[in-house]
Chain A
Amino acid sequence: MSNLLVLPILIPLCTAVLLIFLRGKLRLQRGISVVSSVLTVLMSILLTEHVHKEGILTLQMGGWAPPYGIVFAGDMFALLLVTAASLASLAILLYSISTIGEKREHYYYYTFYHFLLAGVYGSFLTGDIFNLFVFFEVMLISSYALLSLGGTRLQLKETSKYLLINIVSSTLFVAAVAYLYAAAGTLNMAHLSLRISEAGQGGVLNVIAVLFLIVFSLKAGLFLFFWLPGSYSAPPAAVRALFGALLTKVGLYAIIRTFTLLFVDNAGPPHSLILWMAAATMILGSLGAVAYKDIPRILNYNVIISVGFVVLGLAAGTRDSLDGAVFYLLHDILAKALLFILGGLIISAAGTDRLSGMGGMIRRYPLLGWMFFILALALVGIPPLSGFAGKLLIIRGALDAKLLTLSLIGLGSSFMVLYSLIKVFRQAFWGIDVEAERPMVSMKGSLAVAAGLLVLVAAIGIGAEALFAYVSQAGSVLASPEQYIQAIMKIKE
């Protein structure tokens, strides 16, 4: 069974390689992409179910016992994220088939798509810090390609910026790994955790922790998000949905994993830095979401707010808030995918991404409008929709940890999410129909995909009770990393 752990990485990787040889055969490419995505979804659900019953899965590459070889570790947290990511990516794939255009499809769009997914799943499942770097790079280089594919002027400019920032942060990542190896003498995350807790976290290890925090924050858009709103606005809607749903979550996963497993000291300077960064991210993200008047930017700032909110759950560090962070991440992957898909549909229906050029679309696209409205409520956390359970747990955990100001900022940012999305809803769907002469845009297929995602988002909310059994298992590993360490290291004895 543990050998199956590598399949979520292997399926997209092999698909991507296969698709390189099928250039020009677009129907075949689409078919294979969908089949491979469905397989990944099934595989990740199977693995999650297995971990739920039997405990953490580990796989040693080439039979090298840890800490010497490369280890893959599938705990509940990683596998829940893989499952959510595979569901979201399947939906975005279906959406992109109808919207991305044949020209991009000809230039290996699906190949890069699957390479990116392999990088994302790999980052979730790896148990080795250098391997995390490698999977980050797999993901990033595919994202560079997807970002620049199409080669419009805006895309070229934004890709240069995004590429440069990520090269510098990857360089810092390797430097941080080098320092960590010098300080602890190992790269296996479970082994690192043991070594660090033996040595005590102070001095040099705090510096290394902050270096890792900077690197992962750049990828996650935690406080260091200055590049995000611009870069994520450049590509077409499907790619935007993919980035908004998955890329920042990988950075978040890395932050949560390293700061619950390696640098667990809750009183040190890195910890208070995380608190401040979470607060600043939520405040600045809210300001951005309210200030801008074009849809891509409003949605991108919404991504930033949710990053701050999840990190608030990490920073509070209680059992409740960690459960909440996992819950909120799951909800956010699916809801953000849906948000960007609906945003893309609104833009294509209105023919502009400026709010000032829209109005009165509710008469012509009623389904789109009401789906957007329900999603806005879900993102704010109106029960029984999906955002509620995660938000409740995070805020409760933060209050238990005596973080009153931060909880208030978190709640305030929720209102800003509501305000910014209702602003989009009101401006685009109500008022005077400004483009009554515009021909109707056909979006049956995309709406079906969006409806499917909406059902999932609603299911997370309504089935929160059932899902909580899984989420609390993930939270318990985060709260007490001994389980993770034992699952990996016990094999050595």
Chain B
Amino acid sequence: MELVMALAIGILFTIGVYLILSRSLLRIVLGTSLLTHGVHLLLLTMAGLKTGSAPILGKAESYVDPLPQALILTSIVISFGVTAFFFVLAYRSYQVLGTDEMDSIKEAME
């Protein structure tokens, strides 16, 4: 299971970095959100995977650590907020600067 997770994390990071390095602001936003998804999976994997266990102490023989799930929940909420802000900012830049290409934004300033 760890291997599958590791591959998934790697793929998400790859696509995320690729998109962040592109020119269009919209792609960059999507890239950041894929990157954060990758890191959430990383958090889950690093804390140890226990397939099929519930995060309840005492009811079952094996239980899974609830802490990483709490951390991921927090982190997801934060990344939601930041992504929403980034989208609004990108839209606003598109309105004011008339382009969503990072290169043209630079040129428009000079």
Contacts and interface: CB of A to CB of B under 8 A. Distances in A.
Nearest to B32: A167
A153 interface: yes
B30 interface: no
Interface string B79-93: 001100110011011
A157 B82 contact: no
16 contacts: A130-B74, A134-B74, A141-B78, A141-B82, A153-B108, A153-B109, A157-B93, A159-B89, A160-B25, A167-B32, A167-B86, A171-B39, A175-B39, A178-B45, A178-B46, A181-B43
Interface in B48-100: 48, 67-68, 71, 74-75, 78, 81-82, 85-86, 89-90, 92-93, 96-97
A373 interface: no
Contacts of A449: none
Contacts of B92: 148, 151, 156
Nearest to B17: A168
B42 A141 contact: no
Contacts of A177: 43, 71
Interface residues of A, number: 29
Contacts of A179: 46
A137 B82 CA distance: 9
Interface residues of B, number: 35
A174 B75 contact: yes
A168 B82 CA distance: 12
Contact of A137 (B67, B78, B108): B78
A148 B89 contact: yes
A144 interface: yes
Interface in A303-322: none
A153 B86 CA distance: 16
A419 B40 CA distance: 48
B109 A157 contact: yes
A462 to B, nearest CB: 44
Contacts of B96: 151, 153, 156
Interface string A126-167: 000010011001000100110010010110110110011001
